[in-house]
A and B are shown apart, each in its own frame.
Chain A
């Protein structure tokens, strides 16, 4: 177990270093950092002095190490655009993105599993056929189109829900949450559905396919032959076995929710890190872009790590190594 965790941690570190290298090269290959920081009218001496002070005259590997060291401490420098520390900008906007991502992940996961299981168990039923067809639409429509459609229906025509922003937020020791106010929750619905819909349909189709596969296995047939109730067979046995492979892919999907949030945040003017990133691109605000890249990679890596551990906990075949297990395999 310990060896497994250590191995996965090392792999994660390598991934993070590669991403850091990409983020680092942004500074050197996209524009000149000095030009970005000082105006056109700065003198050559001023530029040289700034260059020296920022350590830009050091060898590249030294600069990279410094960059990684700072990043590890959450230090990403000063935003070119706002002249504020990038870490502060991110910290301000992270809660919005995390709450959006968590809500849509919960939405996608719960509904995806429920609908997937339902349509597998009632394969020939009318409702499950309908759900499957509808899910095709969910998979094929681009996110921004879904968002605009939802805004058009629920915000413009029905006027039930707001079309942009986060609503009122409550400050909980630096974490500004929208979960505690009515307007905050209302504002969350459309973006969360927009962001989660694609994952929802994917998870649903995956759960369904996997469950149908499991329902055909010998141990399910044997469970029925033992006289177990339908409930015990379908939910005690089939569902648990279905979720083992589903965990992995679902985990990856949840990681991509955070990345996909860029589009949703833009459509709904959601004040999260995705929107921050879009604005940063427009102003070639390299430190913010670099920090965003590293942050997203970090989310992916952490989610992957959790998924692996879950997998390990759910499937006893990975957990226990015995002579019998090895010969049987």
Chain B
């Protein structure tokens, strides 16, 4: 069933049947349910989905940074073939920042207000690389200039509040890339910024990662950014993966009925996902995930099987689609058109 795509390259990151749960008084909430995907070296994987779909949780689960009581309840995360989801904290922290860098949504709150930018850079650099204070400072200045901060030798001694939001996100990016990680997880890195600055930050991220061959897991609501930046796209719905495939497929000829709804209008740069949604109803809350295919109450194509059996991802061309429409039996009998 699981057709191998492009088997020549081994994946950098493999996520297998990942499950994230929140134990609550009224039972366990499954916020990420049985998700599998992989990212190849240097590849940009866009992750889209409505608010609450589980995108951020998936990103944080990859570096095992879930806030308790949230926890990884099943599945595996592998980096370069090695399992990292079950590592002890002390080993994990040599992966965080060193192998996998993280960029969060809000640059205004990502930096500690009480320390200079230089302090935070040097401390990160020296955590991961064997450098003297002087060397680390020099590298910090280089990094600031790389992310486009002018007069870095002066500004390195300033505090975060002395920088604008866009500048701060540049600093956050510098911090994320300072140890040359092979993967960056960027969780809506531009959502909190002025529209005029968003493109610059995406360009910066693209350029840096391209130069260093860094792969990116780019979580965003901005379909324009996805179209321009991503190599492949994963679409999440209610904690599950609806569809994952090459960017042209997902955007131009999506297979999954949910993705079709999302792409109902042709996205242009800067347009937001929410406004594109052409599907009636709202994504279910975690406490009331429908049986079978979680999308069936909203799905225009739903049929008898959908509300009883949950579809597993099915390989269609280069994509994987979790929808019964693409089940072998139906495809063979020619029931799916389009």
Residues of A in contact with B (beta carbons under 8 Å apart)? 216-219, 221-230, 232, 236-237, 240-241, 244, 314-317, 320, 322, 324-325, 327-329
Report if B159 contacts A (CB, 8 A).
yes
Interface residue from B89, B95, B123, B176 paired with A236 (Cβ < 8 Å): B123
Closest to B179 in A: A227
- Nearest CB in chain A: distance from B1 CB, A: 35
Neighbour of A324 across the interface among B95, B163, B172, CB < 8 A: B163
Residue among A244, A320, A324, A327 having the largest count of chain B Cβ atoms under 10 Å: A324
Say which residue of B67, B104, B128, B161 sits within 8 Å of A317 (CB atoms): B161
Show 10 A/B contacts (Cβ-Cβ < 8 Å), sorted by A.
A224-B93, A225-B101, A226-B102, A227-B95, A227-B97, A227-B128, A228-B127, A316-B116, A324-B163, A324-B167
Determine whether the beta carbon of B123 is less than 8 Å from that of A324.
Answer: no
Return the chain B residue nearest A328 by Cβ.
B161
Expressed in whole angstroms, the Cα–Cα distance for A73 and B167 within the complex equals 55
Query: Pick the contact of A225 from B97, B128, B164 — CB < 8 Å?
Result: B97
Quick check: is B175 within 8 A (CB to CB) of the other chain?
yes
Report Cα–Cα, A314/B109, bound state, in Å.
Answer: 18
Let me know if B221 is at the binding interface, CB within 8 A: no
- Name the distance in Å between A175's Cβ and chain B's nearest Cβ: 38
Residues of A within 8 A of B83 (CB): none
Whether B97 lies near A226 (C-beta < 8 A) is yes
Q: Does B267 contact A (CB under 8 A)?
A: no
**B127→A219 contact, CB < 8 A:** no
Does residue B108 face the partner (Cβ distance < 8 Å to A)?
yes
| A228 contacts B123, C-beta separation under 8 Å | yes
Q: Is B63 an interface residue (CB 8 A)?
A: yes
> Are B161 and A227 neighbours in the complex by a CB distance under 8 Å?
no
Q: Return chain A residues, CB-CB under 8 Å to B98.
A: 227
Out of A222, A232, A320, which one reaches B104, CB within 8 Å?
Answer: A222
Which residue of the partner chain, among B94, B101, B114, B175, contacts A244 with CB atoms under 8 Å? B114
Contact B95 A317 (CB under 8 A): no
A316-B104 in contact given A225-B97, A325-B162, A328-B165 (Cβ < 8 Å): no
Q: How many residues of B contact A (CB 8 A)?
A: 38
Of residues 79 to 135 in B, which have CB atoms within 8 Å of A's CB atoms?
A: 89, 93-98, 101-102, 104, 106, 108-116, 123-124, 127-128
Q: Check if A328 sits within 8 Å of B114, measured CB to CB.
A: no
A-side contacts of B109, CB under 8 Å:
217-219
Does the CB pair A229–B172 fall under 8 Å? no
B110 to chain A, nearest CB (A): 5
A230 B89 Cβ-Cβ under 8 A: yes
Say yes or no: is B65 at the interface (Cβ < 8 Å to chain A).
yes
Cα–Cα, bound, A328→B59 (Å): 28
**How far apart sit A241 and B120, CA to CA, in the bound complex (Å)?**
14
A327 engages B164 (CB within 8 Å) = yes
The list of the 4 closest CB pairs from A to B, nearest first, reads A227-B97, A225-B102, A218-B109, A227-B96
A227, B127: Cβ atoms under 8 Å? yes
Interface of A is mostly: helix
Q: Within the assembled complex, what's the spacing in Å between the Cα atoms of A241 and B114?
A: 7
A225 cross-chain contacts in B, Cβ below 8 A: 63, 65, 96-97, 101-102, 104
What is the bound-complex CA distance between A226 and B89, given in angstroms?
13
Distance between Cα atoms of A180 and B63 in the complex (Å) = 56
Instruction: Say whether B123 contacts A232, CB under 8 Å.
Output: yes
Bound Cα distance from A229 to B92, whole angstroms: 10
In the complex, A91→B112 CA distance in Å?
Answer: 46
B97 touches A314 (CB 8 A): no
Residues on B with C-beta less than 8 A from A219 are 109-113
Given contacts A230-B89, A328-B164, contact A316 B113 (CB under 8 A): yes
Q: Is the CB of A222 within 8 A of B161?
A: no
Q: Is A226 in contact with B161, judged by CB distance below 8 angstroms?
A: no
Apart from A227-B94, A227-B127, A315-B113, 16 more pairs, CB < 8 Å: A218-B104, A221-B104, A222-B175, A225-B102, A226-B176, A227-B98, A228-B97, A232-B123, A232-B127, A241-B114, A244-B114, A314-B114, A315-B114, A316-B159, A317-B113, A328-B161
Which of chain A's residues have a CB closer than 8 A to the CB of B63?
225
Whole-angstrom distance between the Cβ of A58 and the nearest chain B Cβ: 55
CA gap between A241 and B112 in the complex, in Å? 8
B162 contacts across to A, CB distance below 8 A: 320, 322, 324-325
CB of A237 within 8 A of CB of B112, answer yes
Closest to B108 in A: A328
B175 lies within 8 A of A226 (CB):
yes
Tell me the bound Cα distance from A244 to B113 in angstroms. Answer: 11
Q: Which residue of A lies closest to B94 (CB)?
A: A227
User: How far, in whole Å, are A218 and B159 apart by their CA atoms in the complex?
Assistant: 17
Q: Are A240 and B114 in contact (CB under 8 A)?
A: yes
From A224, A236, A325, give the contact of B65 (CB < 8 A).
Answer: A224
Contacts of B97 in A (CB 8 A): 225-228
Separation of A315 and B159 alpha carbons in the complex (Å)? 10
Instruction: Note all chain B residues with C-beta closer than 8 A to A217.
Output: 109
* A-side contacts of B95, CB under 8 Å: 227
A241 to B127, CA, bound (A): 21
Q: How far is the CA of A216 from the CA of B95 in the complex (A)?
A: 22
Complexed CA–CA distance, A285 and B165 (Å): 63
Kindly provide the distance from the CB of A81 to the nearest chain B CB, expressed in whole angstroms.
52
Taken together as a complex, chains A and B put the C-alpha atoms of A219 and B102 apart, in Å, by 12
Question: Which of B101, B102, B161 has the most A CB atoms < 10 Å from its CB?
Answer: B161
- When distances are taken between beta carbons in the complex, the residues of chain B under 8 Å from A328 are 108, 161, 163-165
